[in-house]
């Protein structure tokens, strides 16, 4: 047997040698895969996706240093991958690009579902395995995809007279019965509203979304939502039920007006597309076959003014198929207009993201109790309160109590911001409003059963905002600096509710462009707001299209309709796309918004005389200690024409840079020349030869704008820097800046090398300063530097929000300089780790960020004259690491004497720093501080 075996083995070994291919090391597949597959602005396996020309992104495993090539495959079924992709195959592309790679396959259409995978080749040219399969499913991309009609009740006939005699629509309850003959294979619900809605299928809530579909310029575009409802639809009888309220579309917004088709009754648009197991299809649409009533428990719902809920009118079982709605009204229909685009929502919906339960009772009377949520928040309360039948529970809200403990609501202005619940029986009720939102820290309840002692479990805070994910972090050894970071992030959460708002509590809550442009970099570090900002920019483009001269209004969506623009505000059309590009590396945002940016610069040009624009300006809004009082004083002391010219130049300069990125060389030169001409006019008009601002009233912001926007000749700039330092010294090293000057103050001082000075300003505790509000009990950023004090209570100005994010823009400097984590190339393709400690104030700081390539972090501490720096550099990037001490002889890396190697190379050694080029990896540095 052994002899036979040997005879058989020999031919086999020869055959194997002849026929098996030789696999070189460069072709050997590594046991690694790409992860975090996303499309466009970071969507993971979206349903109802908006983008028929998506981009693809992925992250490499930490074991990989860099990517040398990739291949993408796409198919109509996961079973076809990886061997038979029937939609697109990119082939092997030699490139290190792993973010925002363009789809280059055939045109995609509505409802299409695409499955895709990625393979990469590492720095050794070794291929990975194919990734796990990702997918995206497109929504209805054009109006003609809709067979439904707008439908709803004529609620104008039973409207309610609200605040300022504004007529409010009664909330509607709408439903449609349908039957299916067999088992369901798949079902998609496409839905939107002129108003806000909550939708049920067979008694079950379809989603946990809040205030859908959100807020866009409704006269231009209404966003639609897609839900996979396969598990909710069944053979036999079914019921589709919708609760509908006014929301932004038909409610009271801003100046007490409804700007969309005047007093239009709210309506829904709904299309349920079902594929049955036998292959047949059925479509249920909103039309004249629907039934509705306004005689339900939700009697009133207003974003500003709250809700009224009468439990005596609850309609038991109305969302179930067995309910008899034969006595309900037939709805009225309206056709879809071609002038208003119906498009899938292009950013995350609003959701309840957190529940605050750590509550304390701060005061009680015979008839009321006041709770402290311990955090100024945006959302609604959830109450669990004992009541007697027929009594009305009144729920009021406040941001801060007066010094004597009095409940205070005057800064809400005309926003009533009050909820009411009318009890139908004795006992404990549980309830939360649905179609409103409030900004608050304190809640007052009255109307409960007085025989019961109030307890802290009577109320919870349901925190609501766009479902943005936290991607950045910052902490330090300084308790108040950590509180400032908390205030920044809470201020962002509380003002990113479908659009970026100025405040969440008073009769405003609008998308002010100036506030947004100063906070966007800080927002994008803390939260994944890429899609949020690009969606809002689309609304901005649509709104600008109404103005032939390129005007960008104060707010987006533009409910003011006053045909005005402001420097520093309209510039959001240029600044935010540029910031998004630099932070994410997504060039598509520049392509989408390039024409808008050019038109805005054109607006400046059309309103200029000798390069000095004469348009309106809010200027350095809410600068402390203004010379004038009242509304004019709110604009600060930096003159309107000065601010106009500075931003005209800055936007022109940015457009030239955007043109360069997009390869538009003629435009690059055109706008660069324009910027230079404006800068020359700026210096000639506003500065003397000694670099001093030609104005009796000197301001920090005048010098900050001139220096940061690079509007002065080099020799004049040096002199202007000294005047800036003098102005800061005159203010006893306090800031003296408003909305426009504050975000660039740390950047200018940093560029000047005045980092210790910036530390000194940041850690000031008296007015005006960042820590002043914290000493007064702030848990969010304030609109004014002195909005409230424990001693004097509220600032008497009527415009006084305790939840305004603009001054939180300092966060960017905290992350980039104190912790030392910033980007040197768009999208963090090249990272800078360069902390500069100041042990007078802190001895430890740390920041981390989930960049488009993976987690990057910088964490340092100083202990007994020893400096420790821990860093993480993600795959497919590089980094410059700056050790802020010139102590090369004592420098250790991972506990060993520092030596250059393939991962770490010294760039140079300077007076106060050692600069090292680093490849991806984790590094621990240690050196002496002296």
Catalytic residues: 508, 783
If phi > 0 it is left, if psi is from -120 to 50 it is alpha, else beta; for residue 173 that is beta
Tell me how far apart the alpha carbons of residues 442 and 432 are, in angstroms, rounded to a whole number. 16
* 3-class state of residue 653 by DSSP: helix
> Helix 530-544 vs helix 572-584: angle between axes, to the nearest 10 degrees?
150
281 strand-pairing partners = 275
> Helix 588-606 vs helix 640-661: angle between axes, to the nearest 10 degrees?
140
Closest CA to 642 of 615, 675, 669, 671: 615
Tell me how far apart the alpha carbons of residues 333 and 267 are, in angstroms, rounded to a whole number. 8
Tell me how far apart the alpha carbons of residues 642 and 687 are, in angstroms, rounded to a whole number. 10
Tell me how far apart the alpha carbons of residues 510 and 492 are, in angstroms, rounded to a whole number. 14
Closest CA to 65 of 870, 925, 902, 915: 902
DSSP string, 243-257: EEE-HHHHS-BTTTB
915 strand-pairing partners = 882, 908
Question: 189 is written with which tokens?
Answer: 């619900």
Tell me how far apart the alpha carbons of residues 108 and 121 are, in angstroms, rounded to a whole number. 28
Is there a contact between 454 and 370 (Cβ–Cβ < 8 Å)?
no
Number of alpha carbons in the 13 Å side-chain half-sphere of residue 690? 4
358 strand-pairing partners = none
If phi > 0 it is left, if psi is from -120 to 50 it is alpha, else beta; for residue 713 that is beta
723: buried, middle or exposed (CB in 10 Å: 19+, 13-18, 0-12)? buried
Helices (H), 167-260: 247-250
- The secondary structure of residue 768, as a DSSP letter, is S
The pair phi, psi for residue 534, each rounded to 5°, is -65, -35
Number of alpha carbons in the 13 Å side-chain half-sphere of residue 106? 10
Is there a contact between 707 and 721 (Cβ–Cβ < 8 Å)?
yes
What number of other Cβ atoms are within 10 A of residue 11's Cβ?
9
What number of other Cβ atoms are within 10 A of residue 192's Cβ?
26
Tell me how far apart the alpha carbons of residues 97 and 530 are, in angstroms, rounded to a whole number. 19
- The secondary structure of residue 770, as a DSSP letter, is H
CA 760 → CA 129, 764, 775, distances in Å? 53, 6, 17
117 strand-pairing partners = 73
Beta-carbon contacts of residue 450 (< 8 Å; ≥ 6 apart)? 366, 367
Question: 54 is written with which tokens?
Answer: 């998506």
281: buried, middle or exposed (CB in 10 Å: 19+, 13-18, 0-12)? exposed
* 3-class state of residue 265 by DSSP: coil
Is there a contact between 917 and 907 (Cβ–Cβ < 8 Å)?
yes
Measure CA of the first residue to CA of the last residue in the chain; give whole Å. Answer: 80
Tell me which H or E stretch contains 342: strand 341-344
Is there a contact between 256 and 159 (Cβ–Cβ < 8 Å)?
no
Number of alpha carbons in the 13 Å side-chain half-sphere of residue 49? 25
Beta-carbon contacts of residue 3 (< 8 Å; ≥ 6 apart)? none
């Amino acid at each position: 047997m052994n002899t036979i075996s040997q005879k058989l083995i020999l031919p086999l070994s020869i055959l194997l040698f002849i026929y098996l291919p030789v696999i070189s090391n460069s072709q050997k597949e590594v046991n690694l895969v790409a992860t975090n597959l996303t499309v466009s602005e970071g969507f993971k396996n979206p349903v109802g996706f908006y983008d028929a020309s998506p981009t693809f992104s992925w992250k490499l495993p930490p074991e990989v240093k860099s990517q040398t090539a990739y291949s993408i495959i796409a198919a109509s079924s996961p079973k076809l991958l990886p061997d038979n992709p029937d939609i697109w195959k990119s082939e092997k592309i030699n490139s290190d690009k792993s973010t925002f790679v363009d789809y280059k396959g055939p045109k995609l259409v509505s409802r299409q579902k695409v499955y895709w995978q990625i393979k990469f080749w590492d720095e050794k040219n070794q291929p990975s395995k194919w990734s796990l399969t990702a997918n995206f499913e497109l929504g209805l991309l054009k109006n003609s995809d809709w067979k439904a009609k707008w439908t709803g009740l004529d609620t104008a006939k039973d409207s309610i007279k609200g605040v300022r005699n504004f007529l409010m629509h009664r909330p509607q309850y709408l439903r449609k019965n349908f039957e299916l003959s067999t088992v369901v294979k798949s079902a998609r619900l496409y839905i939107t509203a002129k108003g806000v809605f909550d939708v049920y299928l067979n008694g079950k809530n379809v989603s946990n979304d809040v205030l859908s579909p959100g807020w866009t310029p409704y006269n231009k575009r209404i966003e639609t939502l897609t839900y996979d409802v396969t598990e909710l639809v069944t053979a036999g009888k079914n019921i589709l039920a919708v609760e509908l309220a006014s929301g932004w579309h038909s409610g009271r917004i801003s100046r007490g007006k409804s700007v969309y088709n005047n007093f239009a009754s709210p309506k829904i648009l709904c299309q349920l597309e079902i594929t049955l197991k036998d292959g047949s299809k059925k479509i249920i649409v909103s039309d004249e076959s629907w039934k509705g009533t306004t005689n339900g428990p939700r009697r009133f719902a207003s974003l500003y003014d709250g809700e009224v809920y009468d439990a005596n009118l609850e309609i038991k079982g109305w969302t179930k198929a067995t309910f008899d709605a034969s006595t309900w009204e037939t709805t009225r229909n309206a056709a879809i207009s071609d002038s208003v685009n119906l498009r899938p929502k292009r950013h995350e919906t609003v959701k309840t993201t957190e529940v605050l339960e750590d509550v304390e009772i701060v005061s009680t009377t015979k008839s009321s109790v006041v709770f402290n949520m311990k955090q100024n928040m945006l959302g609604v309360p959830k109450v669990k309160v004992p009541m007697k039948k027929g009594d009305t529970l009144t729920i009021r809200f406040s941001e801060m109590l007066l010094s004597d403990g009095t409940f205070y609501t005057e800064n809400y202005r005309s926003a009533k911001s009050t909820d009411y619940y009318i009890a139908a029986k004795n006992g404990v009720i549980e309830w939360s409003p649905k179609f409103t939102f409030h900004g608050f820290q304190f809640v007052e309840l009255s109307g409960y059963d007085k025989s019961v002692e109030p307890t802290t479990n009577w109320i919870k805070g349901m925190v609501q905002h766009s479902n943005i994910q936290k991607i950045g972090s910052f902490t330090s050894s300084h308790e108040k600096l950590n509180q400032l970071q908390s205030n920044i992030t809470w201020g962002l959460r509380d003002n990113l509710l479908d659009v970026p708002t100025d405040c969440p509590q008073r009769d405003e809550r609008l998308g002010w462009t100036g506030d947004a442009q100063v906070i966007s970099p800080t927002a994008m570090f803390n939260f994944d707001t890429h899609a949020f900002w690009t969606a809002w920019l689309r609304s901005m483009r649509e709104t600008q299209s109404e103005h032939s001269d390129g005007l960008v209004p104060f707010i987006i969506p533009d409910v003011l309709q006053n045909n005005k623009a402001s420097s520093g505000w309209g510039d959001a059309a240029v600044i935010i796309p540029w910031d998004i590009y630099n932070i994410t590396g997504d060039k598509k945002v520049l392509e989408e918004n390039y024409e808008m940016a050019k038109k805005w610069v054109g607006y400046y040009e059309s309103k200029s005389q000798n390069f000095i624009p004469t348009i309106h300006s809010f200027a350095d809004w809410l600068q402390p200690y203004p010379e004038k009082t009242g509304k004019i004083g709110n604009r600060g002391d930096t003159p309107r024409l000065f601010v106009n010219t500075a931003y005209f130049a800055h936007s022109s300069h940015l457009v030239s840079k955007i043109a360069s990125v997009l390869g538009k060389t003629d435009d690059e030169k055109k706008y660069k020349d324009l910027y230079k001409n404006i800068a020359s006019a700026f210096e000639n008009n506003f500065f003397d030869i000694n670099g001093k601002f030609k104005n009796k009233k000197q301001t920090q912001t005048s010098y900050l704008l001139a220096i940061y926007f690079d509007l002065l000749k080099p020799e004049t700039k040096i002199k202007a820097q000294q005047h800036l330092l003098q102005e800061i010294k005159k203010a006893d090293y306090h800031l003296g800046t408003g909305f426009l000057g504050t975000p660039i103050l740390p950047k200018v001082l940093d560029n000047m090398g005045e980092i210790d000075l910036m530390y000194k300003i940041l850690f000031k505790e008296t007015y005006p300063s960042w820590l002043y509000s914290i000493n007064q009990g702030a848990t969010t950023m304030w609109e004014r530097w002195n909005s409230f004090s424990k001693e004097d209570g509220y600032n008497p100005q009527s415009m006084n929000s305790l939840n305004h994010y603009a001054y939180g823009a300092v966060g960017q400097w905290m992350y980039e300089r104190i912790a030392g984590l910033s980007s040197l190339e768009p999208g963090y393709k090249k990272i800078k780790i360069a902390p500069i400690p100041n042990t007078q104030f802190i001895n430890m700081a740390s920041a981390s960020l989930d960049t488009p390539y993976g987690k990057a972090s910088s964490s340092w501490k100083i202990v007994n004259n020893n400096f420790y720096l821990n860093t993480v550099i993600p795959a497919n990037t590089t980094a410059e690491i700056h050790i802020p001490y010139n102590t090369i002889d004592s420098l250790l890396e991972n506990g060993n004497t520092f030596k250059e190697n393939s991962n770490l190379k010294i760039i140079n050694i300077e007076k106060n720093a050692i600069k090292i080029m680093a490849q991806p990896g984790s590094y621990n540095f240690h050196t002496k501080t002296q």
